Structure 1
């Protein structure tokens, strides 16, 4: 690869990050990043041996929401936007438009900053629960991943298992704290597994939900996560009828992929701020799906699904929530809507029932919420404590949907 190509890829990564920051309303940071990137591109090339190979990734990163954020004012957006020179705005547009001209192959992780592994941590108490939080490693034909496993102090016999897929730039520990899932699992006697994406597979630790090989039953990350799930089931007394999967953002999209690929393993799925399974085949279609919404692949065997999405999500369009539901068969079900308002965010819960009155799908649309775990703990990243409790709602939904015998 030439030094020029490497530097162009670095600039592409910067522009992708600037696009994400702009969508999140962080225009000052986006401006600084773009200016640095253009200065680097204009500078004389350094020794080729010092060239960075840090490929861009599709960063589906959630935004943290403080408990009492300052309301955004129209004047903030206008003044920040006016500070971005026209030349820089054009540069962003040009790089993003370049997605359709052959840059997709660089989206797969080719290197980048090393991410510390999770092994070597003491088992110790689990965040938010009295059980233990241990580190395990899975190795299978499709690949390997480390994972954290919450073991309740008084498990059910047999117990349910929930697999939780974190978002970009998160770790299993961070995700466990932010969702508060271990605390709830301790109370209910459930096991919770948190697979860890690696920096080698994706420099920003995003699950590669948009890669075809990672969406299929027989390869890639879907096969790894399913194999990891079966490893936990073999080690502990897990009820095979009560195995579930959920995720946030890139993890939510990956959870949809895995559930679609393995309807015989997962009884239900929770998709928080994610996208429909198989809705993208490369980075260009992924960006379009994030911004405008895109239908997923043919549904196959429908899996009971609960969806959470903030109506003000600037990273993944809330239209994707409807498309996840459509893929799960909402069109053949009868919806019943309820709206709730209180001290936190108002929200609408829609339950979709079959002809027998059994609820198959749930949709939670949270007004005023962005791209963050609803009702999460502020001690973790990318949470919105003011929303309804997504973790509790998912566990309640899962409890009502054991795997049906085929």
Structure 2
């Protein structure tokens, strides 16, 4: 990182506001130690949304080409292609319907991919469909568009995409409700999780829509309110957030590798603290069946119910724990994040609607 990090980031913000995005990107790259602030090779961009925060700038290990599921079905269920259109435009999605579904009411998990990923890649890498099949759970994978972000990142770092009924949170909530209505989803058992930029957006959705999502999973992401613009986002990613921006009432489970060089591990601590506050956790250190050691911390409320969990995966980088090499940004050696998130989700439901 450049010794003049703060000065270069301030200059990047000024240049962005002035519309000089080529020079702004060069300043950002220089701040991160990736080039000169006057580098001629800096890519151009057409607007603010194309100055990308690529929170998945590196892979933990090379991944082979993703095997795309069949458009109508996968073994033991259906993988349905769909789209949602509103004032934000059209966003495609994939929906896993478990084989047990015959019209009955079932839970739903919304899964938000990271930068450069897509629903098929994310489903293959996380193995969430396999975990959901076992428990009879629908899984919705919204797709970010390159029109909205050049690297298909969810725009968690922009102030107009951080509130209820605005921007991407509004679109994702509307898509979720549309799928709920179409497939008769149980409104008390709807959850949201994501990786990296998707994890940061999942935290925002839980904060903005506690009446829609019964629990949240944040993997290698950041807490809601961690940043409001490009410079503050890059600073939070590299150095962590100084404090919890706002608390949340939504139960939260967090996974983060303590060797993550892309999103600082302290962001995982802040995401948990948003729900757990300063409570003292129960702590267990163990080794996953796949090889990595981890520390699991559980936080209970006054009634003894676990309302937050923090899984620190030792030696792991920026990747989905326990994932498959069929998808990108996965770490097969870690504990099974998909299975553990589903376990956590199944212990939490929203109260029934008031009559």
Return the TM-score normalized by structure 2. 0.84
Q: Deviations over 1:370-403 (max 9, x none)?
A: 1110110011001011100100000000001111
> Secondary structure in 1 aligned to 2:256?
strand
Quote how far apart the aligned CAs of 1:140 are.
Answer: 2.6
Q: 1:218 — aligned with what?
A: 165
Q: Determine whether 1:123 maps to 2:118.
A: no
Task: Give the deviation of 1:63 after TM superposition.
Answer: 3.6
Residue number among 79, 86, 110 corresponding to 1:140 in the alignment? 86
Measure the CA separation in 1 of the matches of 2:40 and 2:232.
30
Question: Per the alignment, do residues 7 and 402 of structure 1 end up closer, same or farther by CA in structure 2, a change over 3 Å counting?
Answer: closer
User: 1:175, 1:122 → 2: CA distance?
Assistant: 15
Matched, 1:308 2:255: yes
Contact 2:106 2:137 in 1 (8 A): yes
**How far, CA to CA, are the matches of 1:325 and 1:187 in structure 2?**
27
Change (3 A) 1:255 1:161: same
The alpha-carbon distance between structure 1 residues 14 and 190, as it changes in their structure 2 partners (threshold 3 A), is: farther
Partner of 1:346: 293
Deviation, 1:67, is 9.2
| Correspondences of 1:34-53 after superposition (within 5 Å) | 34=35, 38-40=39-41, 53=46
Structure 2 partner of 1:268: 215
Which of 317, 325, 330 is the aligned partner of 1:378? 325
Give the alignment's TM-score, normalised by structure 1. 0.74
Match of 1:182 in 2: 129
2 CA distance for matches of 1:386 and 1:276?
25
SS of equivalent to 1:241: coil
1:56 to 44, 51, 59: 51
1:145 deviation in Å? Answer: 1.4
Query: Which among 219, 229, 239 is matched to residue 282 of structure 1?
Result: 229
Moved more, 56-65 or 166-175: 56-65
Name the CA distance, whole Å, in 1 between partners of 2:274 and 2:258: 20
In structure 2, distance between residues paired with 1:146 and 1:187: 26
Contact 1:334–1:354, Cα closer than 8 Å, also in 2: no
1:197–1:205 CA contact under 8 A, matched in 2: yes
The structure with the largest helix share of the pair is 1
- Deviating beyond 4 angstroms after TM superposition, the runs of 4 or more aligned structure 1 residues are 4-8, 14-20
The total of aligned residue pairs comes to: 328
Question: Of residues 4, 10, 22 in structure 1, which corresponds to 2:22?
Answer: 10
The 2-side partners of 1:58 and 1:39 are apart by 20
User: Can you give the 5+ residue segments of structure 1 that lack an aligned partner in the other structure?
Assistant: 23-29, 42-50, 69-117
Structure 2 gap segments, 5+ residues each: 1-14
| Greater Rg by CA | 1
* Paired residues of 2:26 and 2:39 also in contact (CA < 8 A): no
Shift of 1:355: 2.2
Q: Does the aligned pair in 1 maintain the 2:285–2:295 contact within 8 Å? A: yes
- Secondary structure in 2 aligned to 1:270? strand
Task: Please tell me whether residue 297 in structure 1 is matched to residue 245 in structure 2.
Answer: yes
1:125 aligned counterpart, secondary structure: coil
CA RMSD, Structure 1 to Structure 2 (Å): 2.8
Q: Structure 1 19/396 Cα, relative in aligned 2: closer, same or farther at 3 Å?
A: farther
Aligned match of 2:149 in 198, 202, 209? 202
Q: What displacement does 1:273 show?
A: 0.6
- Determine if contact 2:276/2:299 at 8 Å carries over to the other structure: no
Q: Alpha-carbon deviation of 1:198?
A: 0.5
CA apart distance, 1:10 = 3.4
Alignment of 1:79-98 (within 5 A): none
Shift of 1:53: 3.6
Whether 2:104 is the aligned partner of 1:150: answer no
2:74 corresponds to 1:66: no
